[in-house]
Every structure is written in structure tokens, then in C-alpha cells.
């Protein structure tokens, strides 16, 4: 199977210091998945590597022949993936605008019928728990249902080093076990969803709306 880890920060400036703790958290997720599931493929999606322009225009708003190459390539990755790890800092008690903006470029049909895992972190003591609450709604609407377990990392800069390892090595296995709980759930659901997608095309009866969200309105 194939998993995407979405890094939810583009914050290269400081303060607060250091910048882009999200890279550490994302690397920790990639490392753990590779360690626990070497038979699967994991790819880190860094929003700084994608330039979709200043004016918001999602992938589905382009004529098919005019979708920018980078956008088309990420759309294909999302479509091909079996599950997603959504890594977000807490900004003003909400999910990161960088992550929401990146995901908003793609229609829910690309994400649907696959699971996701919510991973949040913060400089403070709550580990982004408040951001996680609205991520659940957001990801459900995208169709990649979040698994019940979540990963929250308080004081993330003190917990993880730049390569995503726990700074205090004696706590590494405890952190791995904590994070693996969510990743194991993700893998379980991803496997189940992949088998079921193969057995039955989910969009055969619940059709993808192609013109307007009102296509799914009550009469």
C-alpha cells in the first residue's frame, strides 16, 4: 500500500523558534511507518515544494488539458494513495491554514473511501488537541475518515530532533508505542478499505457529484 504524509507548515520565519517543527513530526511519522511496515511505501508531501499560485484555483476548476503539472501530479498521488497522515500544528486553536489550503485544491473524490490519521503538535502543553477537533470535521468532509486514535505532541520542539527522533533516547520506545497505536489503526482501515474498493466500486451507487455540491441536497 501507499501512504502520504502531509506536512502542514510553511512557516520558515521565526519567532516562535524554531521554525517548521512540522518537518520533525512528519519525519517521525515516515520513520515509524517505514520501520513498522517496510512492505508499504510512504511519501512526505511538503507544501513548500508545490506552487499553486497566489489566487486560489483548485484542480477541479481547470479544464482537464490545462491542469498545472505539479497539481496534476499531486492529484494523482492522492488518488493512488491508500491512506493519509495529516500533520498539523495548532495555530490559534485551529488546524494550519497551510494544510487546509493545500488540501482544498483537490476534490473529495480523490480522497474518498480511504482512512486518514490526525497528527497534531504545538509549542504549548495541549499538543494541538484543539486543532485536531476541527480536523476531524474537515477530513470527514473530504471523505478520508479519520481513525479514532490521534497523535498529539506537546512541546514538540523539545520532544523531537530534526530527524524525527526523540531527543531523550530513553523515551523513544514509549513515544513509538504511543504513535504506533494510531498508525496501526490507519493501516488496519486502509487494508480493509483497499479490499472493499477492489470488491465493489464505491461510486457506483453513491455517485460522485460532478457539477455542484447541491447534487447531494435533500429534495
Ligand X SMILES: Cc1cc2nc3c(=O)[nH]c(=O)nc-3n(C[C@H](O)[C@H](O)[C@H](O)COP(=O)(O)O)c2cc1C
* Helix-strand-coil split of the chain, %, nearest 5: 45, 15, 35
Tell me the per-residue interface mask from 175 to 194 with ligand X, x by CB under 6 A, - otherwise: --------------------
For ligand X, the binding residue among 3, 4, 5, 20 (CB under 6 A) is 20
Fill in the per-residue mask, 56 to 95: x = in contact with ligand X (CB under 6 A), - = not in contact.
Answer: ---------------------------------xxxxx--
According to CB under 6 A, which one of 3, 4, 6, 22 is a site residue for ligand X? 22
The answer to whether 16 contacts ligand X (rule: CB under 6 A) is yes
Q: Which residue is nearest to ligand X (CB)?
A: 124
Looking at the Cβ atoms of 1 and 123, the one nearer to ligand X is 123
* The one segment of 19-27, 55-63, 64-72, 160-168 that binds ligand X by CB under 6 A: 19-27
In the list 122, 138, 147, 160, the residue contacting ligand X (rule: CB under 6 A) is 122
DSSP 162: T
**Minimum separation from the CB atom of position 71 to ligand X (A):** 23
User: Between 60 and 91, whose beta carbon lies closer to ligand X?
Assistant: 91
Q: C-beta of 180: minimal distance to ligand X in Å?
A: 22
CA distance 205 to 217: 16
Question: Which lies closer to ligand X via its Cβ, residue 115 or residue 128?
Answer: 128
Helices (H) and strands (E) in the chain, counts: 7, 6
Supply the DSSP string of 80-124, one letter for each residue: H-SEEEEEEE-BTTB--HHHHHHHHTS-HHHHTTEEEEEEEE-SS
Rounded to whole angstroms, the Cα distance separating 212 from 37 reads 39
For 123-158, give the DSSP string: SSTTTTHHHHHHHHHHHHHHTEEEPS--EEETTHHH
By CB under 6 A, residue 19 contacts ligand X: yes
| Contact (Cβ atoms closer than 8 angstroms) between residue 21 and residue 154 | no
**Per the omega criterion (within 30 degrees of 0), is the bond before 15 cis?**
yes
- Residues near ligand X, by CB under 6 A: 9, 11, 16, 19-22, 89-93, 122-124, 126
Amino acid at each position: 500500500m501507499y501512504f502520504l504524509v502531509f506536512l502542514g507548515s510553511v512557516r520558515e520565519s521565526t519567532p516562535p523558534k524554531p521554525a517548521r517543527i512540522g518537518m520533525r513530526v512528519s519525519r517521525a511519522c515516515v520513520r515509524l511507518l517505514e520501520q513498522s511496515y517496510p512492505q508499504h511505501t510512504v511519501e512526505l508531501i511538503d507544501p513548500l515544494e508545490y506552487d499553486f499560485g497566489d489566487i486560489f484555483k483548485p484542480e477541479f476548476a481547470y479544464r482537464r488539458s490545462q491542469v498545472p503539472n505539479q497539481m496534476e501530479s499531486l492529484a494523482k498521488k492522492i488518488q493512488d494513495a491508500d491512506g493519509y497522515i495529516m500533520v498539523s500544528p495548532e495555530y490559534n486553536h485551529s488546524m494550519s491554514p497551510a494544510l487546509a489550503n493545500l488540501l482544498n485544491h483537490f476534490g473529495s473524490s480523490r480522497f474518498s473511501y480511504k482512512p486518514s490519521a490526525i497528527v497534531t503538535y504545538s509549542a504549548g502543553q495541549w499538543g494541538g488537541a484543539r486543532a485536531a477537533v476541527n480536523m476531524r470535521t474537515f477530513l470527514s468532509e473530504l471523505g478520508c475518515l479519520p481513525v479514532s486514535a490521534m497523535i498529539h505532541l506537546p512541546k514538540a520542539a523539545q520532544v523531537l530532533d530534526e530527524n524525527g527522533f526523540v531527543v531523550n533516547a530513553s523515551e523513544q520506545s514509549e513515544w513509538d508505542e504511543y504513535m504506533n497505536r494510531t498508525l496501526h489503526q490507519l493501516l488496519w482501515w486502509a487494508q480493509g478499505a483497499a479490499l472493499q474498493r477492489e470488491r465493489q466500486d464505491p461510486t457506483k451507487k453513491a455517485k460522485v457529484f460532478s457539477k455542484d455540491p447541491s447534487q447531494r441536497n435533500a429534495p
